[in-house]
A and B are shown apart, each in its own frame.
Chain A
Amino acid sequence: MILSFETWEITLFSLAVGLASTVLILPFGIALAWLFARKQWPLKSVVETIVLLPLVMPPVSTGLILLKIFGRRSPLGEWLYQRGFEIVFNWKGVLIAMAVMSFPLLVRSVRTSFGEVNPRLEQIAATLGASPLKIFFVVTIPLAYKGIVAGALLAFSRALGEFGATILLAGNIPGRTQTLSLAIYNFVQLGKDPEAYVLLGITVVLAFLFVWTSEWLLRTEKKA
């Protein structure tokens, strides 16, 4: 089957921004997951709840909050605009919406796999003279890496499926902010069902691949 230029454009745009969003949240997600799994600090449960909120809140509500934060009339939005960063109604808005919506999935998955790393190994590494940084990168991360990869895949697929927050923050502008999900909605609205079905097929294949890989990784981690 030969895909039209438009289909390619939509698919590649979604994949590119989804990938960028995943790469963007990865270091923050890993750091936060480690803080959740290994440290005790005041208001930890409150922060945990806030991080998980986008998972249960209607995505449109999250999108509205983001619009209020990043819109040009907000202090932050204005500050960014003066420095040449406009978030709303362009690809950066898509990126932010995807990042915020997929962040909780990443943090949860990574946190669980950090929790499964035996803290005794980290302690023994410390007695052998390893700095906290060495322990983290040579012991903790390698032992949790499958959970981290699985979490990243999950976050990536969630980013690709993002709709509600994206449409509020970035709009649905063909060629500029239109992702797979937004395009499917658009085609159905316009009665272009065949085009919608092609995109539908792509999303199903991608989703299947990601979830399958992520589950496989988590299964083999349990065994090891």
Chain B
Amino acid sequence: MLLRCRIPLASFVLDIDVTFDARVTAVFGPSGAGKTTLLDAIAGLRDIAVGEIEVGGKTLFSSVRKINLPPQRRNLGYVPQEGALFPHLSVRRNIIFGSERNSHVSDAKTMSMEHVLEILEISHLLDRSVMELSGGEAQRVALARAILSRPQLLLLDEPLAALDIGLKEKILPYLARVRDEFAIPMIYVTHNVTEVLTLADWVLMIRSGRLVAQGPPGETLTSSSAVRAIPDEELENVFTVEFIDSDKAAGRSRVRLSSGAEIFVPYRATPIRNTLQVRIRADDILIGTQRPEGLSAGNILPGAVCAMEIVDDQALIRVDAGEIFCVRVTAGAVNRLALDAGSAVFLIIKTRSFQLL
């Protein structure tokens, strides 16, 4: 899709010119960077001074050709931050609100109402009033409403921002399911790294209305320019792994990285789906130049340093150990170990430092 727009805002001008084509594109940036404005512009809810928006080969807006489709005809599904469910309608009537639009579409089977409700686990809520829903339920209903309007693109505006941390972890898998189950491309606005790494194939980093970087999330978010913008605890690695087996007594499960290497993660009963995602903070990985012995840590992975960047007094080290791990250590540690690109190293990771999503 093509996105080129110039929108004067109160304190800066939102000026974006980008072409991308990914299943899930994250728009990442701090609050006030113009992310919501961008979604509003794509959805046709806001005037654009100059620009052009093209989705799936269809021009939605063009200042040059004087095209400006109204929101009704853009065929997009918008899930705003607060969900914006209609408070006077039941959950059912909210969900079918947009479903008349493309009822003729041939994929009606894969996107049947039953299927969507099942994926999001909200079938039992249908006859409730939306006022009785919890935050997480309301977001899933808003998501179902948008999906069932059978849009050509889903716009998600920080769908997890209003939820507390425990709930976020619960809703994130639903979003991943929506991504995997329905062939609807998404633009996902967030200021949370985990969400980007978990869900997106491509990330656009925006600051003060400008695109500062774009690329695959794993690389882009751990680049030196990005790291300064990310809170310490959010610099992390997310990998898709294959479940092998579980040992409840030992408190651990075995999973396989895409490279074939096996790692231990905290115990999880055999999941329904074979693949899951694990994450590990860049600060929770130790680096050794020799294979250590007599450690409690469950994972010792051999690898080689493939890139290193010094950001102020810290070092971001990219280690190829089957997957590319991003590790953060102090600049002092790099000197002590005499690390350099190509150095052979061991990554030491506690089983319990991995988090399962």
Using CB atoms and an 8 Å cutoff, list the residues of chain A in contact with chain B.
118, 120-121, 123-131, 139, 142-143, 224
Contact = CB atoms under 8 A, between A and B. Distances in A.
B267 interface: no
Contact of B101 (A118, A121, A124, A128): A128
Nearest to A129: B101
B84 A118 contact: yes
Contacts of B174: none
Contact of A127 (B76, B86, B87): B76
List of 4 A-B pairs having minimum Cβ-Cβ separation, nearest first: A128-B98, A129-B101, A126-B71, A127-B78
A207 B80 CA distance: 44
Interface residues of B, number: 24
Contacts of B45: 123, 126-127
B281 interface: no
Nearest to B155: A127
A121 B98 contact: no
B70 interface: yes
Contacts of A126: 44-45, 70-72
Interface in B88-126: 88, 97-98, 100-101
Given A120-B80, A120-B82, A128 B97 contact: yes
Contacts of A121: 84, 86
B88 A127 contact: no
A224 B86 CA distance: 12
B253 interface: no
B149 A124 contact: no
A33 to B, nearest CB: 19
A130 B86 contact: no
B70 A224 contact: no
Given A123-B45, A142-B88, A143-B87, A131 B72 contact: yes
Contacts, number: 53
16 contacts: A120-B80, A121-B84, A123-B71, A126-B70, A127-B43, A127-B44, A127-B76, A127-B78, A127-B98, A127-B149, A128-B101, A128-B145, A129-B100, A130-B98, A139-B86, A143-B87
B77 interface: yes
Interface string B37-68: 00000011100000000000000000000000
A80 to B, nearest CB: 41
B74 A127 contact: yes
Nearest to B40: A123
B98 A129 contact: yes
Nearest to B43: A127
Contacts of A123: 43, 45, 71
Contacts of B43: 123, 127
Contact of A125 (B97, B100, B146): B97
A129 to B, nearest CB: 4
A132 B45 CA distance: 13
A127 B71 contact: yes
B84 A129 contact: no
A118 B84 CA distance: 9
A129 B72 CA distance: 4
A32 B24 CA distance: 44
A123 B80 CA distance: 10
Contacts of A139: 86
A144 to B, nearest CB: 10
B84 to A, nearest CB: 5
Nearest to B73: A129
Contacts of B86: 121, 125, 139, 143
A55 B334 CA distance: 79
A130 B71 CA distance: 9
